Amino acid sequence: MSERMTRAQVPLEEGIIFPGSTCQGCGAAMAARLTFKVMGPNVIRHGIPCCPDQSSKSPSTGSVFEGAGPSLTGTSRALKALGRTDIKAVGFFGDGGVYDISFGGLMAAAQRNENALVICKDNEAYMNTGGQHSGGTPKYAETTTDQVGPNSRGNKFHKIRAAFAFAALGVPYIATASVAFPEDLMAKVKYAKDIEGFRVILIQTPCPVGWRFDPAKTIEVARSAVQSGMWPLYEIENGSTFKLNYKPKELKPITEYLKPQARFRHMTETEINEMQTYTNQRWEEVLRADEAKRLTF
Amino acid sequence: MIEIRLHGRGGQGAVTASRIIAAAAFEDGLYSQAIPMYGTERRGAPLTAYVRIDNVRVRERELVHTPDYSICFDEFISMNQTIANSMKPGGIVLANSKFKPEELPLAGDIKIACVDATGIAIKHLGRPITNTAILGAFCKLCPEVSLKGVEKAIYKYFPGRVGDMNVAAARASYEQVTDLITAKNKEPPKQVEEIVSGGYGALKDVSGWRVFEPVIDEEKCIGCKTCWIYCPEAALEWTANNKPAMISRACKGCGVCANECPVKAIEMVRVQVKK
Ligand code: SF4
Ligand code: SF4
């Protein structure tokens, strides 16, 4: 498990070339900045189509959506053949990539336990192309493909809990992180970077444009997702050892998270209650796993 | 046929404005067309949109190349010759600016009018979304589009109370727009500074994206680094005396730093456009 990091330990040096080309208050830009602060120079960054976040100083390569798993596999095997395992193959993908189009290829790479680190900046829809539904979209969120109208209440499905899908394959390390908890995020990246095998870090990165809230509130929204249990922060090792990193005495009501976001504006009380119950149940599950220090399927 | 070009930034509502103008003309019994220029749109990044209005069916399907009207929704872009380029002779430029039209550095065979749409938007909507706050002024300059039609179209896009606020902004701008003046310089300058638009990768300077910018009160600041760690652009430098300092070329004015500072030592102050 990752070791706690303090603010004083956060490196002053940046790993990105700024300013980038994102919207104002972009959560993904924050995630990239924090990630590449601790990643170090020996990295080959892989990208697939997504929002621009931040350009990092490391060399990078790109492929099609479906190529996420295969291209990481190719790089990590080539590095091994060259005897340069000090250089890490790192993917920095969006949720449309990790939870949707690239899911199959990444699952296969995870099953083969390829030596690669996949970092997902999860803004819960295809925001680069105008906010279409992805596997990362939460239930009831309005997207440009799940519009609210007489016959539609927004997205019909619950967000894929991708961490558990990867856990089922027993990969060495999985973590969730949030831009509102930067030290925790960086500690996880630092720890995951040097593990051998397939590693996944899922970072929730609020999107002011797609979620429709004031760009000044990006961190506020990210924080309330964690504090309300909608985005719990945890780590899973070898598909079983489990640790919850943030455990408030009492969860905040999910309305604190939903309220500032216009994508949830249409939700009725019944729908909010349904989501509250769903969130509580999922929270109970992670609490139980944390107590047992073990994830059981 | 009249052709209109709109200059703005993602988030100011220029694309919605193009639809409102087209819908307003349609309400008045004309034919119309709104064309957004799609790239990778980013909130804050410069963009253009186009409108055509005619009393017969509009058959053109391409972008507008020589507009009769050019409307600019952004105070900074209003200072850039780009908005006055390739106009029809005698074309009209309507700029969002606090300045008088003769104070804008725009040249060509054009007429210019100004309205402080940012001020109007902040007053009526509480936010610098300048689209409806400039449409009223446009109705005054363009006989083909009536204020009534625009108001109707605004309610179509913003029903209820939000519509009331936007209509109030449109009316205020109808009242406050300056008279048209003829540009003094007929010849536009040869070299025009490019407007930095979005796209991918690192940019050189985004200082023009800001409507508000952080001003740090060093007395109040306790040096906690909260603002520094949360800035998405690394636009706050950590100085030797343990305080943050804004890097002007990198700050987009999102306001995250001010929102997160535990002692409220950062204030977001409206940027003053210089002549
Ligand atoms: S306003 Fe936004 S971009 Fe500018 S310094 Fe503050 S957090 Fe950074
Ligand atoms: S968050 Fe406020 S108190 Fe902390 S370093 Fe920034 S300005 Fe100073």
**Contacts of B117 by beta carbon, 8 Å cutoff, 6+ apart:** B73, B96, B130, B133, B134, B137, B173
Q: Is A238 on the interface with B (CB under 8 A)?
A: no
3-state secondary structure (DSSP) of residue A157 = coil
Q: Is A19 on the interface with B (CB under 8 A)?
A: yes
Q: Whose CA is nearest to atom 3 of ligand 2?
A: B221
Q: Which span out of A152-166, B4-18, B175-189 was modeled with the highest average pLDDT?
A: A152-166
Q: How far apart are CA A220 and CA A252, in angstroms?
A: 13
How many residues are present in chain A? 297
- Give residue A77's identity as a one-letter amino acid code: R
**pLDDT tens track for A63-78:** 999 999 999 999 999 9
Say whether pLDDT at B189 is over 90.
Answer: no
Say whether pLDDT at B191 is over 80.
Answer: no
Q: What is the model's pLDDT at position B196?
A: 56
Q: How far apart are CA A127 and CA B14, in angstroms?
A: 19
Q: How far apart are CA B134 and CA A164, in angstroms?
A: 51
263-292 of A, contacting B, C-beta below 8 A: none
Q: What is the DSSP pairing of strand A152-153 with strand A173-178? A: unpaired
Q: Is B163 on the interface with A (CB under 8 A)?
A: no
Q: CB contacts < 8 Å between A and B, how many? A: 109
Q: Is A29 on the interface with B (CB under 8 A)?
A: yes
**Listed residue (B222, B220, B212) closest to B265, CA to CA:** B220
Helix (H) or strand (E) holding B216: strand B212-216
Using CB atoms, pick whichever of B40, B43, B205 lies closest to residue A215. Answer: B43
Q: What is the model's pLDDT at position B37?
A: 77
Averaged confidence pLDDT in chain B: 90
CB contact under 8 A, B233 and A20: yes
The domain segmentation of chain A, as residue ranges, is 25-292
Say if residues B18 and B6 touch (Cβ distance below 8 Å). Answer: yes
**pLDDT tens track for B63-113:** 899 999 999 999 888 988 889 998 999 999 999 999 999 999 999 999 999
Say whether pLDDT at A48 is over 70.
Answer: yes
Q: What is the model's pLDDT at position B38?
A: 63
- Helical spans, DSSP H, in B77-225: 117-125, 131-141, 147-157, 160-176
CB contact under 8 A, B254 and A55: no
Say whether pLDDT at A246 is over 60.
Answer: yes
Give B271 Cα–ligand 1 centroid separation in angstroms. 13
Query: What CATH class does A25-292 carry?
Result: alpha beta
Lowest mean pLDDT among A41-55, A249-263, B109-123, B184-198: B184-198
Atom of ligand 2 at shortest distance to CA of B228?
6
**Listed residue (B271, B227, B133) closest to A216, CA to CA:** B227
From residue B61, alpha-carbon distances to A154, A229, A255, B139 in Å are 33, 50, 46, 24
DSSP character at residue B121: H
Domains of chain B are: 2-182 (3.40.920.10), 207-270 (3.30.70.20)
Which ligand ends up closest to the CA of A18?
1
Q: How far apart are CA A51 and CA A179, in angstroms?
A: 16
Q: How far apart are CA B193 and CA B196, in angstroms?
A: 9
CA end-to-end distance (rounded Å), chain A: 21
**Listed residue (A131, A137, A123, A143) closest to A31, CA to CA:** A123
3-state secondary structure (DSSP) of residue B26 = helix
Find how far residue B65's CA is from the centre of its chain. 20
1-40 of B, contacting A, C-beta below 8 A: 10-11, 40
Dig out the tokens for A223 from the structure. Answer: 């924080």
Give A176 Cα–ligand 1 centroid separation in angstroms. 25
Rounded mean pLDDT, A203-227: 96
Residue with tokens 């908890």: A181
Atom of ligand 2 at shortest distance to CA of B216?
7
Q: What is the model's pLDDT at position A266?
A: 95
**Contacts of B118 by beta carbon, 8 Å cutoff, 6+ apart:** B75, B96, B98, B128, B130, B133, B211, B270
Q: Whose CA is nearest to atom 1 of ligand 2?
A: B261
Give B274 Cα–ligand 2 centroid separation in angstroms. 28
Band the pLDDT of B29: cuts 50, 70, 90.
very high
Torsion of Cα atoms, A96 then B10 then B214 then A203, to 10°: 0
B222 in contact with ligand 2, CB cutoff 6 A = yes
Question: How many other C-beta atoms can be found within 10 angstroms of the C-beta atom of residue B24?
Answer: 28
Predicted TM-score of the model (pTM): 0.85
Say whether pLDDT at B197 is over 60.
Answer: no
Q: Is B164 on the interface with A (CB under 8 A)?
A: no
% of chain A beyond a pLDDT of 70: 100
**B117-125 and B160-176 helices, crossing angle to 10°:** 150
**Contacts of A162 by beta carbon, 8 Å cutoff, 6+ apart:** A98, A99, A103, A120, A135, A136, A200, A202
Nearest-CA residue of chain B relative to A222? Answer: B230
Atom of ligand 1 at shortest distance to CA of B244?
5
Q: Which long-range contacts (CB under 8 A, 24 or more apart) does B268-274 make?
A: B268/A216, B268/B212, B268/B213, B268/B214, B268/B215, B269/B212, B269/B213, B269/B214, B269/B215, B270/B118, B270/B122, B270/B211, B270/B212, B271/B210, B271/B211, B271/B212, B271/B213, B273/B75, B273/B76, B273/B78, B273/B79, B273/B97, B273/B98, B273/B99
Q: What is the model's pLDDT at position B44?
A: 75
Nearest-CA residue of chain B relative to A29? Answer: B232
Q: What is the DSSP pairing of strand A148-149 with strand B2-9? A: unpaired
- Residues of chain B found within 8 Å of residue A16, distances taken between Cβ atoms: 202, 234
Averaged confidence pLDDT in chain A: 95
Q: Tell me if the bond preceding A19 is cis, omega within 30° of 0.
A: yes
Say whether pLDDT at B121 is over 90.
Answer: yes
Q: What is the model's pLDDT at position A146?
A: 94
B227 in contact with ligand 2, CB cutoff 6 A = yes
Please, what's the b/e burial string for B57-81 (b: 16 or more CB within 10 A of its CB; e: otherwise)? ebeeeeebeebbbbbbbbbbbbbbb
Choose which residue among B231, B266, B268 to substitute to test ligand 2 binding: the one with the highest number of ligand atoms within 8 A of its C-beta: B266
CA dihedral (B234, B211, B96, A211) positive or negative = positive
From residue B10, alpha-carbon distances to A24, A217, B3, B183 in Å are 10, 18, 22, 28
**pLDDT tens track for A78-137:** 999 999 999 999 999 999 999 999 999 999 999 999 999 999 999 999 998 889 999 999
Using CB atoms, pick whichever of A18, A215, A220 lies closest to residue B202. Answer: A18
29-88 of B, contacting A, C-beta below 8 A: 40-45
Q: What is the model's pLDDT at position A68?
A: 95
Q: What is the model's pLDDT at position B204?
A: 80
Rounded mean pLDDT, B44-69: 90
Higher pLDDT, B61 or A33: A33
**Listed residue (B251, B224, B221) closest to B235, CA to CA:** B251
Say if residues A181 and A226 touch (Cβ distance below 8 Å). Answer: yes
Dig out the tokens for A83 from the structure. Answer: 């005897």
State ipTM.
0.95
